[in-house]
Amino acid sequence: MIRYELLDLLKPTLTEELVVCNIGSPSQELHALDDQPSNFYMLGTMGLASSIGLGLAMATDKKVIAIDGDGSVLTNLGTLATIGNNPCDNFILLIVDNGSYGSTGDQPTYTGGRTSLAKVAEACGCENVVECSAEETPEALRAALDANRMTVIVSKCESGNVKCPVITMNPITIRERFMREVAR
């Protein structure tokens, strides 16, 4: 199962929650599948989805899901230590781990090799870390939301992207409609 199919499966679960979505194909696919004001699309800045999500979760009581990628977490690996040491029970980090830099042509990342982000997250102090298949991810996400505990989900997917239009929405529009959702 590739990222697009996973996001499609997650659609019924992503309703009330605030979603911060990773740069490139992840945001484009989510936007094409299920555009909502509660989605914050990153149009650049690879690596910071988990940090934006954590900062947001610290500032709001609403549930926040950061949909990140393995390559992006690897480039900002310190984020897992910050998350592990600042647990926010309204925060879920969902890492779509397809073992590749999907957006740029599926070049392999080290998570497809010897590196386990779940183990890194645990070693960084994250208490609830779940590694699961893409198929199991909706259930894992539902369980994490119901548990009201900060959770890191590493969802093992296949590499691959579905061609979706580039997001042309103005960044200020994305931010302002998202902030209205946060304040609602």
Partner 1 sequence: MAREIDRQIIGDLRDNGIDFVTSVPCKQLAGVIELVDQTDGILHVPCNKEDEGMGLCAGAYMGGMRPLIMMQNTALGVTLNSLATLIQFYQIPLPMLISYRGEVGEPVACQVEMALHTKALLAQFHIPTYHFHKAEDVAELPGILQHTQMCSKPTAILTDASFWGSAK
Ligand X SMILES: Cc1ncc(C[n+]2csc(CCOP(=O)(O)OP(=O)(O)O)c2C)c(N)n1
Choose the one of Mg ion, ligand X, partner 1, none that binds residue 56, judging by a C-beta under 5 to 8 angstroms depending on kind: partner 1
Q: Identify the bridge partners of residue 156 per DSSP, sorted by sequence position.
A: 97, 133
Q: Does position 126 bind partner 1 by CB under 8 A?
A: no
Choices 11-19, 38-46, 90-98, 172-180; region in contact with Mg ion by CB under 5 A: 90-98
Nearest to ligand X of 104, 133 (CB atom): 104
Choosing from 60, 115, 116, 159, the residue that interacts with partner 1 (CB under 8 A) is: 60
Q: Does position 50 bind ligand X by CB under 6 A?
A: no
Choosing from 69, 79, 156, 178, the residue that interacts with Mg ion (CB under 5 A) is: 69
The footprint of ligand X on residues 76-135 (CB under 6 A) is 96, 98, 100-104, 109
Closest to 140 (Cα-Cα) out of 92, 78, 75, 85: 92
Nearest to ligand X of 51, 90 (CB atom): 51
Nearest to ligand X of 14, 90 (CB atom): 14
3-state secondary structure the chain: CEHHHHHHHHCCCCCCCEEEECCCHHHHHHHHHHCCCCEEECCCCCCCHHHHHHHHHHHCCCCEEEEEEHHHHHHCCHHHHHHHHCCCCCEEEEEEECCEEHHHCCEECHHHCCCCHHHHHHHCCCCCEEEEECCCHHHHHHHHHHHCCCEEEEEECECCCCCCCCCCCCHHHHHHHHHHHHHC
Q: Does position 53 bind ligand X by CB under 6 A?
A: no
How many whole angstroms separate alpha carbon 80 and alpha carbon 78?
5
Choosing from 2, 3, 124, 131, the residue that interacts with ligand X (CB under 6 A) is: 3
Q: Does position 28 bind ligand X by CB under 6 A?
A: no
- Min dist. Cβ of residue 159 to partner 1 (A): 25
Q: Which residues of the chain form contacts with partner 1 (CB under 8 A)? A: 20, 40, 42-45, 47-60, 76, 78-79, 81-82, 86, 171-172, 174-175, 178-179, 182-183
